[in-house]
Structure 1
């Protein structure tokens, strides 16, 4: 998040070695949390007893908006239609779904709801849903990070 806010170059560096100022310390946030970050600032006067400067972030604390939020399912894996057997499977499944329903005595709304349910159920049955293409980085590496964090916590408690 350090580079998202416009600052003077002298206020971007977080590490000083001789006369060279480098940006090696960062605030890392997931894409869903970036709107909570108000500012990231390098505190050059903070004495941390190292050659690193303190990086401070101002955040707007927001509660998760889970209540009443409709979670959309993943989109269909339409790239599978390129395979003839998948396309044929979808067509056959859709024909079976639509064959047992008549147009008699139905309103346009009922017709549309039934058509939509036939299309989606046939697509789920034959081609399936896609996979999330942009997983959060910490969800991918949680199995690697968990033992390291526990080891660090144990070392810290032994130190105290």
Structure 2
């Protein structure tokens, strides 16, 4: 369910197949608010962003009341080349926050007409500006296929609504660092009857001692049994032998020396040129 952080910030976490997506809806202070209110809002938003797990997909949407301009050279990782207008003080705060948390403004990523990027018209100058934004993490920007303003009589409000097309790519889970797979064992030794009988006797005695111990849960009992069997097998079987010899082994080295001895000597004229 949506969780209100303040009267300007609301979050919602959606479960995906293997991950989660966090959506943050905001309503930033306008230019007429004191600078203390603006800085307090961005500090609160920064604390919310720092509490979101790094593995979550993130969408930050809302009415930000900022003009970010078109200075892509100054903020290459935060905004694309499709910015509009000039940057103001609120825009500097927004860009700095995006740079800190590695967010990108998806409105500026796609090449389209200005009427599909602008979302608000100034009441006096009648100029259209881009002050509503949809943001995501920089490494997830390929999940956003498009972001555009919805135009038409059925969508007319004070601000044009933004519509993103999103297709989340679910990451594959990798093994945790520090965990290693068990070493392969040389099971070919079990073909030797004498070796196999001694291995069976040692395994029976180890399992008899293990049965005397009691574990609290079935998972712990299974892990203990697995460890006992693997330790005994590792002692008696060991690692498998290498099937391929190294290129610098003695046999190949002897073959190379014999070839060098049988190699025909070059003519005298060639030998003199080399000297």
Query: What TM-score, normalized to structure 1?
Result: 0.38
Q: Which has the higher helix share?
A: 1
Bigger Rg, structure 1 or 2 = 2
Q: Which has the higher strand share?
A: 2
Query: What TM-score, normalized to structure 2?
Result: 0.24
